Amino acid sequence: MSDEAREAVGDYQFGFHDPENATIRFDKGLSEQVVRDISALKDEPEWMTDIRVKAYHHFVERKMPDWGNCGELNNIDFDNVTYFLRSSDATEKDWDDVPDDIKRTFDRLGIPEAEQKWLGGVTAQYESEAVYHSIREDLEAQGVLFLDMDSGLKEHPEIVKEYFGTVIPYSDNKFSALNTAVWSGGSFIYVPKGVHVEMPVQAYFRINAQNMGQFERTLIIADEGSSIHYVEGCTAPTYSTDSLHSAVVELIAMKGAKIRYSTIQNWSANVYNLVTKRGVAHENATVEWVDGNIGSKLTMKYPAVLLKGEGAHAEVISVAYAGAGQHQDAGAKVHHLAPNTTSNILSKSISKNGGRSSYRGMLQVTPKSHGCRSKIVCDALMLDSDSRSDTYPTMEVGNSTADLEHEASVSKVSGDQLFYLMSRGFSEEEAMGLIVNGFFEPFTRELPMEYAVELNKLLELEMEGSIG
Amino acid sequence: MAEEILRVENLHVSVEDTPILNGMDLTINRGEIHVIMGRNGAGKSTLASVIMGHPAYEITEGSIHYMGTNIDEMSVFERARAGMFLSFQYPAVIPGVQVGTFLKKSVQSVRDEPLKGREFRKELNGAMATLEMQKSVLSRYVNDGFSGGEKKRLEILQMLLLKPTLALLDETDSGLDIDALRIVAKGINSVAPEAGCLIITHYQRLLDHVQPHFVHVMIDGTIVESGGPELALKLEEQGYEWLETAAEA
């Protein structure tokens, strides 16, 4: 334990921290030893250590991806990243260190300070632990497993071993290899056959139980005929001192099951957010990604669905907001690997103050997959002429019976709209906020209410001070 | 004594160096309904837009006073908050924004005080009943997929809720069937006694339902003739030619 860390723990103002729980921070940079140390520290089974080590070597050898805004990736300094922080390390960060603009946003969103700290993942808060536990009990009664990934591995190694890396193997890409090597935190969910989890399950009840790292790993398995809606993150900004966030999320929807995964990322503007998300939908199963990207410097995220069983369905609804200095490179990948599978993709993006947003999509229909239907709609809204929006759709269609639609539009806020709204008493910024919220509405209405309200407020805040 | 709401003096207005208004004069007092008629291109809509503060129009000469103050420097939303209202000929579509949300936010920003949910709903229900509007309109997106008549009715609904001191109505009667016309007129008549009203129209028929105090005829960006309701009837019968001939002579 470093002196610095000891000092921080000692000074911790709320004083409910267990002093025996030492903070551990690894030196910056990555090596096989660091990977082994992480695994040893977590007391993992050998097979997991082996996967980590293999993944590490693959990461070292693997080239950068060529899908996405790849030139920018070369700016990442992998040696300057801390790959592991123990959960209690959260106390090492002081609320005072959180940048003022982020604190202001918390205030304006109406989130009280105690909760702010908790949402920001900056420190632990005991009250929320209680909430978390009560939710867990409710789910447990139905036989649902909902744990952080580390606990999932400890308590249900047989399930984790069966599914871990089956949807996204470490060899998928450089960042999935990195994640597999150093993963920590994330969610583990198993929903038994026929169980419908009615309330959305929210990750942020869990965040403080185990400090969500930069490399979280999530695995959700919905057994036959079951359903679950998982909500991750929140609209409040996630402040990170580290510049790289690389998560892996694997979803498995068995026959007739349904998984919806909703998330809004609002990383601070210094973060490279490179996330691999992929779900498998078996026969008549549904996988839905509801994915919002507001923060980060560069996001590259293309939630994917493998439609493996006949009659499976994929839904990907995403929004991206790119302000000054941001590139949101997001989209969707859907692979129709079985007959009569269907998919809907809706992507909405907004660029402002020189920001860039791109839709990058992949739609594949394999030769044996007859009777597939897919509809892709991409709408971009530009708030000024300095900003940029691109669409990069890729289609590989091997079966002539496929029924495919693709619509794309780029629009600007019109002077008529602004004049109309201003004549109704809205300032120019308020008018912009209203137009932006309206543009994102097809996405927002898919969110649980409290997120929708927060997202709208956040977007209105983003519009402030934007009019020259 | 009559209370002056609007005073337009020797107003010259250009768009991209093309003059559109060429020395307009018009004074509207509280409780007065003024009607402006004229052919397309005479500058009627420009007058309404420029009074509301549309940034595309440049005032090259003259002035607009509202409640005794020169409003040249006031932005559009400040004018709205000061009690000015424009019913648009072509209201803009705002996709994804529900009418109910929009109305509440608009009323809130114009009145500049927090709205009590229940009171506002009561007020809204009353106004919608007056205009014979369906509740379902509240969950639709602002003007999105609305028919011409639905758009105009929504404009009038906003006018009733915002209770303007100056109401500018730009061809609100165009494209309305008889029933809609009657309903729109009802809305105007309920606001008019406490406000100054400027109605821009092509047709006399609205005036069967709304009694104007003054009728003005605009040609080439200026008022060439003013009179009472009888002037509108004369225009309906004889058209504008007799005025144009007079103007040329």
* Whole-number pLDDT of residue A159: 97
Residues of chain A with pLDDT > 90: what percent?
A: 54
* Whole-number pLDDT of residue A398: 94
For chain B, the domains span: 4-94+166-248
Residue B160: pLDDT band (50, 70, 90) is: very high
For chain A, the domains span: 35-301, 416-468
* Whole-number pLDDT of residue A459: 83
Question: Which residues in A lie closer than 8 A to residue B105 (C-beta atoms)?
Answer: 426, 430, 434
Q: Identify which of A434, A443, A406, A51 has the alpha carbon closest to the alpha carbon of residue A235.
A: A443
For the cut 90, the answer to whether the pLDDT of residue A235 exceeds it is no
Residue A124: pLDDT band (50, 70, 90) is: very low
* Whole-number pLDDT of residue A118: 45
* Whole-number pLDDT of residue A14: 27
State pLDDT tens for residues A129-185.
444 555 667 788 889 998 888 889 999 999 999 999 999 999 999 999 999 999 988
Among A420, A425, A437, beta carbon nearest to B88? A420
State pLDDT tens for residues A2-23.
344 333 333 322 222 333 344 5
Selected for mutation to probe chain B from A350, A413, A423, A456 (highest B CB count within 10 Å) is A423
B82 has a chain A CB within 8 A of its CB: no
Pick the CATH number of B4-94+166-248 from 3.30.110.40, 3.40.50.300, 3.40.309.10, 3.40.605.10: 3.40.50.300
* Whole-number pLDDT of residue A15: 24
B80 has a chain A CB within 8 A of its CB: yes
* Whole-number pLDDT of residue A80: 77
Please judge whether A423 and B81 are an interchain contact, meaning their C-beta atoms are less than 8 angstroms apart: no
* Whole-number pLDDT of residue A232: 78
Query: Which range among A222-226, A240-244, A321-325, B124-128 shows the weakest confidence by mean pLDDT?
Result: A240-244
A411 has a chain B CB within 8 A of its CB: no
Which conformational region is residue A405 in: left (phi greater than 0), alpha (psi within -120 to 50 degrees), or beta?
beta
B203 has a chain A CB within 8 A of its CB: no
Strand order in the sheet with A201-202: A201-202, A227-232, A258-265, A286-293, A313-322, A342-351, A373-382, A403-412
Quick check: A265 and A293 in contact, CB under 8 A? Answer: yes
State pLDDT tens for residues A90-119.
433 455 666 666 666 666 665 555 555 544
Please judge whether B94 and A438 are an interchain contact, meaning their C-beta atoms are less than 8 angstroms apart: yes
Selected for mutation to probe chain A from B16, B75, B77 (highest A CB count within 10 Å) is B77
A22 has a chain B CB within 8 A of its CB: no
Residue A301: pLDDT band (50, 70, 90) is: very high
User: What are the tokens at A152?
Assistant: 């999932």
Strand partners, A380: A349, A410
Residues of chain B with pLDDT > 90: what percent?
A: 79
R_g of chain B, CA atoms, integer Å: 18
State pLDDT tens for residues A269-294.
888 899 999 999 999 999 999 999 98
User: What are the tokens at B121?
Assistant: 């709903």
State pLDDT tens for residues A344-401.
999 999 999 999 999 999 999 999 999 999 999 999 999 988 899 999 999 999 999 9
In whole angstroms, give the CA distance from residue A299 to residue A326.
8
